């Protein structure tokens, strides 16, 4: 399949890109690594009239240290670049996600910002983004810059709170201590590798999981959109053993059902992945 005809512009700077999308026309789309958008265009599931290619904007690439021990990751940073950076291993759930995304080609081209902005309800990155409470920095020419908590970013399947005139610039991981023990575990769909159920758990508290003072859980692949399992989090902090609390991880969600996994199986796998992610996070405590 070939895409429908479209106009193409390449932006050299962030300001230039923001000017090109400033009209807020939803038929104009930003192109980053193209690993989600181009396949959709080839299938004609997306028909943008204009692409603004941001793929060569150097200022959007790379990882820098933040004061306080955190990291700022440029939106155009590829999975491969994240995999190669030893600082990323401080964030267990993020480090776990990187090798399981796609294949070498996808990891060399696909970007963290593109994946978050695409908001596939089964994207792997959504779970660690939620569990590590990543902060997403966005900018538009008209309204300037704002910081969005990952928990407020996703707005449905393939939808985010970003406006059509807005770009994601940076993803911030806060001080390492805040999420010193985290893990991501997923059951991949064998053909595509996307998670049937993927859960990231971030823990603070006594090593060994004996007394958990903080628990943040991000779930992907299960519901119609990625979500924080707030009820399970509260229950764990209140003292309920994780294995019991996790039984309700899919409760209240419109659990997805397809040829790969029906609702009951997917919900059951969410519980199993949550328990495994918790055990892996506990093993990293201390």
Ligand X SMILES: Cc1cc2nc3c(=O)[nH]c(=O)nc-3n(C[C@H](O)[C@H](O)[C@H](O)COP(=O)(O)OP(=O)(O)OC[C@H]3O[C@@H](n4cnc5c(N)ncnc54)[C@H](O)[C@@H]3O)c2cc1C
Instruction: Pick the binder of ligand X from 71, 74, 124, 266 (CB under 6 A).
Output: 124
For the CB of residue 110, give the shortest distance to ligand X in the complex, in Å: 3
276 binds ligand X (CB under 6 A): no
x/- track of binding to ligand X for residues 172-211 (CB under 6 A): ---------------------xx-----------------
Closest CA to 73 of 104, 106, 95, 99: 95
Instruction: Pick the binder of ligand X from 18, 33, 92, 203 (CB under 6 A).
Output: 33
For the CB of residue 73, give the shortest distance to ligand X in the complex, in Å: 12
123 binds ligand X (CB under 6 A): yes
| 166, β-bridge pairs | 140
36 binds ligand X (CB under 6 A): yes
Helices (H), the chain: 14-21, 37-42, 79-84, 92-97, 104-109, 112-118, 126-131, 150-153, 230-237, 242-245, 263-284
Closest CA to 137 of 122, 155, 117: 117
Instruction: Pick the binder of ligand X from 12, 24, 27, 39 (CB under 6 A).
Output: 39
35 binds ligand X (CB under 6 A): yes
Contact 128, 115 (CB under 8 A): no
For the CB of residue 36, give the shortest distance to ligand X in the complex, in Å: 3
Say how many residues touch ligand X, by CB under 6 A.
Answer: 30
CA distance 274 to 223: 14
Closest CA to 172 of 70, 60, 97, 76: 70
CA distance 86 to 135: 21
37 binds ligand X (CB under 6 A): yes
DSSP string, 108-168: HH-BHHHHHHHT-TT-TTHHHHHHTT-EEEEEETTTEEEEEEHHHHB-STT-BS--TTEEE
CA distance 206 to 277: 17
30 binds ligand X (CB under 6 A): yes
Instruction: Pick the binder of ligand X from 11, 20, 57, 115 (CB under 6 A).
Output: 115
If the CB atoms of residues 94 and 101 are measured against ligand X, the closer one turns out to be 101
**Encoded tokens for 36:** 């989600």
For the CB of residue 115, give the shortest distance to ligand X in the complex, in Å: 3
114 binds ligand X (CB under 6 A): yes
For the CB of residue 14, give the shortest distance to ligand X in the complex, in Å: 9
Buried-state track 74-85, b at ≥16 Cβ within 10 A, e below 16:
bbbbbbbbbeee
> For ligand X, which stretch binds (CB under 6 A), given 30-38, 66-74, 83-91, 256-264?
30-38
> For ligand X, which stretch binds (CB under 6 A), given 115-123, 173-181, 226-234, 249-257?
115-123
Q: Which residue ranges make up the site for ligand X (CB under 6 A)?
A: 29-37, 39, 75, 101-102, 106, 109-111, 113-115, 117-118, 123-125, 162, 167-168, 193-194
């Amino acid at each position: 399949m070939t895409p429908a005809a479209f106009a193409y512009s390449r932006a050299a700077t962030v300001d230039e890109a923001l000017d090109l999308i400033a009209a807020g026309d939803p038929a104009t789309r930003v192109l980053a690594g193209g690993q989600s958008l181009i396949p959709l265009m080839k299938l004609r599931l997306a028909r943008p009239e204009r692409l603004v290619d941001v793929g060569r904007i150097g200022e959007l690439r790379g990882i820098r240290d933040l004061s306080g021990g955190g990291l700022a990751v440029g939106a155009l940073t590829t999975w491969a670049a994240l995999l190669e950076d030893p600082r990323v291993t401080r964030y267990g759930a993020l480090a776990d996600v990187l090798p399981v995304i796609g294949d070498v080609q996808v990891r060399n081209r696909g970007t963290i910002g593109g994946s978050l902005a695409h908001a596939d309800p089964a994207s792997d990155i959504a779970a660690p983004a939620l569990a590590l409470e990543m902060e997403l920095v966005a900018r538009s020419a008209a309204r300037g810059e704002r910081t969005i908590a990952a928990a407020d970013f996703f707005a449905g399947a393939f939808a985010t709170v970003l406006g059509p005139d807005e770009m994601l610039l940076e993803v911030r991981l806060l001080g390492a201590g805040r999420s010193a023990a985290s893990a991501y575990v997923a059951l991949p769909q064998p053909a595509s590798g996307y998670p049937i159920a993927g859960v990231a758990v971030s823990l603070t508290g006594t090593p060994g999981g004996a007394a958990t003072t903080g628990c943040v859980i991000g779930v992907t692949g299960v519901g119609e959109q990625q979500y924080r399992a707030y009820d399970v989090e509260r229950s764990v902090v209140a003292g309920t053993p994780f294995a019991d609390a996790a039984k309700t991880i899919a409760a209240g969600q419109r659990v997805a059902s397809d040829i790969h996994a029906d609702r009951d199986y997917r919900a059951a796998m969410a519980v199993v992945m949550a328990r495994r992610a918790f055990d892996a996070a506990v093993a990293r405590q201390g």
